Amino acid sequence: MRCHAVLLCAGLASAFLASALAAPTTISALDARVQYDGRTVRTNETVDFDWVGVGARLRVDGASWVTAQFRTQPGKRGTRFRVYASDQGFGRYPMATVWVAPSPFDAQGGDANVVNVTLFTGFSASTRDISLYNIVAPQYNTGVTSFVSFSTDGSFAAPAANARRIEFVGDSITAATNVERPRGAPHCGDGGLQSDWSQTYEALLCAAFDASCSTVAVGGKCMVERCAGLQMPDYYVGSLYADAPRDTFAFPTAAAPDAIVIHLGTNDYAAGQSSDLDADFASTTLAFMQNATRRWARDDIEFFLPTGPMTGASRNGTMQALALAKSAGLKATWIDMTLACTNLPWDAGNPDGCDGCASHPGVEGHKKMFEAAQPVIAQVMRWLL
Ligand SMILES: *[C@@H]1O[C@H](CO)[C@@H](O)[C@H](O)[C@H]1NC(C)=O
Ligand SMILES: *[C@@H]1O[C@H](CO)[C@@H](O)[C@H](O)[C@H]1NC(C)=O
Ligand SMILES: *[C@@H]1O[C@H](CO)[C@@H](O)[C@H](O)[C@H]1NC(C)=O
């Protein structure tokens, strides 16, 4: 740099130092200052996941930008994240939806494989929390995604830990399938594009309660094994969707949930209702709750069993499961979501049974499910907002 006056030179130099020269800081995804929500697997250099709703939380000081570096699985599609920054008085002010696409260098392996994604650019406030959540379920060929590192021009600090923990187990509704119906679409179905976990009842509950959440959900799956193939009890024991039915999750080393929402039955009852199925559904749900209690080594977990909104046929089976749970000394509460798809302001061209695609709850339906669940959970857990 050449300067013709000492003062101008000093001014330029300090402006330069304050901005462009501020050395970026990069921390590993394994750094203790990064907090994760949901099921993750730590390797020697990355934090890996595939379940929907998995999130990372960071705190930065004096940052005007924050980026994340990822690896995606070769041959897979990668995934999408909803990113938030604490701003405007909100803990989770929406910033962007980002696509972590497969690297074009996949085949070459190594560091060329790292995909760089901008999470935040803007005014460098003293302290800001950045959080990002995976919004697409793994059944859409997202593959396993790896958090590699995070970078900023500010500095990293540790965010406050969320004291409350909720685990969700479910089917396509909980997996965020078909949430975003393209406006005016007469028919639509999800290939991963209509998925958006950030607008599900779970995401709304997690944000409302400031809870750290984990979602284990696969579209088309049942509680009972009489549905062909792997079912939710088989997926529940895996760290990754890709692990099922292998028992790979580190129960009870991971922090146990205070509450588990088991939202199943829609597929179990797809072929209709019978007293035989009710008994099977109830006894399998009880076994599932007893297994979860044993695996987490925690006997005071509050279970919540919703019914609806895509079908009310599971209601009697769920009532029987609640009665069995009570006699077995478990704590379980019903959540009535059966009316979440009625009287929605959805667009007139939609011939489906709810406001999302393929009769699934969409943004409005999920909001109604949240409104049905939030007061019940708040009262049982004594979680004040
Ligand atoms: C992590 O493990 C892989 C495979 O064993 C190895 O190639 C790599 O060098 C290790 N990285 C570090 C940081 O130890
Ligand atoms: C409960 O755990 C037992 C023992 O691991 C297993 O055989 C059974 O399938 C599990 N049932 C459910 C519904 O999770
Ligand atoms: C559900 O249970 C109620 C009360 O036991 C009963 O009256 C009703 O017939 C049952 N419904 C079905 C569809 O089995």
Chain segment 348-362, per-residue pLDDT in tens:
667 788 999 999 999
**Residue 94 — pLDDT band, cuts 50, 70, 90?**
confident
Q: Per-residue pLDDT tens for 260-312?
A: 999 999 999 999 999 999 999 999 999 999 999 999 999 999 999 999 999 99
Task: Find all residues with CB under 8 Å of 82, minimum gap 6, and list them.
Answer: 94, 96, 97, 132, 133, 135, 196, 197, 198
Give the count of beta carbons closer than 10 Å to the beta carbon of residue 104: 10
Phi and psi at residue 77, to the nearest 5°: -90, -15
Mean pLDDT across 156-162:
93
Ligand 1 interacting residues, C-beta cut-off 6 A:
44-45
**pLDDT value for 123:** 84
The tokens describing 303, both together, are: 């279970």
In whole angstroms, what is the distance from residue 262 CA to residue 291 CA?
A: 13
Q: Are strands 55-61 and 90-100 parallel, antiparallel or unpaired?
A: unpaired
What is the three-class DSSP state of 3? Answer: coil
Tokens representing residue 113 in the block:
């494989």
Where residue 114 falls among pLDDT bands split at 50, 70, 90? confident
- Report residue 226 as tokens: 């009489």
Residue 2 confidence (pLDDT) above 50? no
Say which ligand is closest to the CA of 149: 1
Q: What are phi and psi of 146, to 5 degrees?
A: -115, 125
Q: Which runs of consecutive H residues, i.e. helices, occur in the chain?
A: 6-18, 201-209, 232-236, 275-296, 315-327, 363-381
Sort 187 into a burial class: Cβ within 10 Å, 0-12 / 13-18 / 19+: exposed
Please give the mean pLDDT across all residues of the chain. Answer: 91
What pLDDT is recorded for position 5? 42
**Pair 355, 325: CB distance under 8 Å:** no
273 lines ligand 3 (CB under 6 A): yes
Instruction: Give the Cα separation of 181 and 176 in Å (integer).
Output: 12
- Residue 26 corresponds to which tokens in the numbers above? 């990069």
Q: Does 284 sit in the ligand 2 pocket, CB within 6 Å?
A: yes
Give the Cα separation of 337 and 227 in Å (integer): 23
- pLDDT of residue 13 exceeding 50: no
Query: Which ligand 3 atom minimizes the distance to the CA of 273?
Result: 13
pLDDT tens sequence across 116-135? 999 999 988 889 999 999 99
Please determine, for residue 343, whether its predicted confidence score (pLDDT) is greater than 90: no
pTM score, whole prediction: 0.92
Query: What's the gap in Å between 232 CA and the centre of ligand 2?
Result: 11
For strands 164-170 and 259-263, give the pairing. parallel
Residue 88 has pLDDT above 70, yes or no: yes
Report the DSSP beta bridge partners of residue 49: 145
Mutation pick for ligand 1 pocket among 26, 28, 30, 44 (CB with most ligand atoms within 8 Å): 44
* Mean pLDDT (whole number) for 194-218: 97
